[in-house]
Amino acid sequence: KKDGTLTAVQAELVVDAGAYASLSTKVLKRATTHATGPYNISHAKVDCYAMYTNNPPAGAFRGFGVTQSAFAVESNMDIVARELGMDPLELRRKNALRVGSTTATGQVLRESVGLVDCIDWVRDRVRELEEKPAPDAGFTEPRIGWGIACAYKNTGFGGGAPDNAGAEVEVYPDGAATGRDVQVRASSADLGQGLTTVLAQIAAEVLGLRFEQVSVLLSDTDLTPDGGPTTASRQTFVTGNAARLATDGMRERLSFVAAEHWDVPPESIRFEEGELRTEDHAVPFAQAAEWLIEEGREPRLRYRYHAPETRPLGEGGDMHFAFGYSAQAAQVAVDKETGKVQVLRIVAAADGGRALNPQAMLGQVEGGIVMGIGTALTEEFRLEEGIPQTRRWKDYKTPQLGDMPEMAIYLVEHPTSTGPFGAKGVGELPSIPTAPAICNAIFDATGARVYALPAKAEEIKRATR
């Protein structure tokens, strides 16, 4: 409408699956269900096709299809805003999903929707930065522009798929086995996203211990319960809940043992600073573990957590049990002579629920931005007649240190009631809006619209001229 209200989206997605479908249909489904962007839209028609070709089979990448559809959605939002003579940021804010909104798949969002807060923080930070000189890009005649993009991404498998994970906790009377008082075990993989730290933090929080008193064992399938794949931004939520509930059970077990020793109600016992305490008693955690073993009770407890039920696409209801939300703005400089693009600043806000480890979460957002810069400007897997032409890292051209912009990042914490201490997870979310934000900034600087990634200098130069 003329006032910027979105009424409908029609989209068609076609993917090159290669010789075997592999994960193509699953990636495509996620791209499709997110193809309207994180916006209130009354009507949607989205068709998708996975095509068999003579190219190599394709697999999963951070964002799992949403990265691709978000590029189209957010580019279109920029085009629409300019046709309306409207601020692209305000168009997004006007139509942003909120608590009570219904997604394109028919899911009503009942809680934990921090998109408007993300947009507002990005808007205010950009206004501050616009009052300051832009960083030097090293170009003789740079053209400077800002671009905005938003994104949302599901947590967990969704779509009716069973989503569960197991965790085991064991307490030690002397810490002899591990050098710690407690060990948490899960078979899930830590790929650098910080799962080890988060599980230790969760156990320490529940049992009133210092972080250093907890060790974590991952991925040894002889010793750890199945945690499912490290995918779908699910580990903090699903394995984190398994660890929380396992340690809750162990806390209850230790409380009963101490209550018997002190002849007090179990609920009166507090777990604080590495001790079990009441008004009149206090013992070190290790002593309580020793009492547990002396009474012949099991010092090990295993719990399997099952995530909230979801529904398959087309059946209505909750297709996912949680979503993360993000807004990003990019400032770029474009060399008038060559079309080369330098990203000067990225302003990013992300809602991944409660940040259990804020520093690690900031690192996740920074890493996602770096990947998004590569997606936007440098990374390309080239094929000719089904034969890969990109065979070495130097041909693929990942971002280098000199490509890094200034970053301003803010964590918007809208807790979800079902996550561990309110966490949703943030694994894939930060890499999704970066590329469209950069390409919208390129248009703002030059008037050249990027329709395919990566954005190539020679094409930008040609379009600008």
Known catalytic residues?
428
**What DSSP state is assigned to residue 212?**
G
Pairing mode of beta strands 282-284, 275-277: antiparallel
What is the biggest distance separating any 2 CA atoms in the chain, rounded to whole angstroms? 85
289: left (phi over 0), alpha (psi -120 to 50) or beta: alpha
Chain mean position to CA 254: 35
Residue 316: predicted pLDDT: 83
Q: What does the pLDDT profile of the chain (465 residues) look like in tens digits? A: 999 999 999 999 999 999 998 899 999 999 999 999 999 999 999 999 999 999 999 888 999 999 999 999 999 999 999 999 999 999 999 999 999 999 999 999 999 999 999 999 999 999 999 999 999 999 988 999 999 999 999 999 999 999 999 999 999 988 655 568 999 999 999 988 899 999 999 999 999 999 999 999 999 989 999 988 888 999 999 999 999 999 999 999 999 999 999 999 999 999 999 999 999 999 999 999 999 999 999 999 999 999 999 999 888 889 999 999 999 999 999 998 999 999 999 999 999 999 999 999 999 999 999 999 999 999 999 999 999 999 998 889 999 999 999 999 999 999 999 999 999 999 999 999 999 999 999 999 999 999 999 999 999 999 887
Judge contact between 144 and 445, C-beta under 8 A: yes
% helix, strand, coil for the chain, step of 5 = 35, 25, 40
pLDDT single digits (tens) 220-257: 989 999 988 888 999 999 999 999 999 999 999 999 99
Q: Would residue 380 be called left, alpha or beta, if left means φ above 0 and alpha means ψ between -120 and 50 degrees?
A: beta
Does the bond joining 56 to the residue before it have cis omega, within 30 degrees of 0? no
pTM: 0.95
* Amino acid identity at 212: E
CB 9 within 8 A of CB 105: no
d(CA 49, CA 126): 39
Helices and strands in the chain: count of H runs, count of E runs? 11, 15
DSSP structure class, residue 235: I
Cα 356 to Cα 361: distance, rounded to the nearest angstrom: 8
Pair type for strands 182-186 and 214-218: parallel
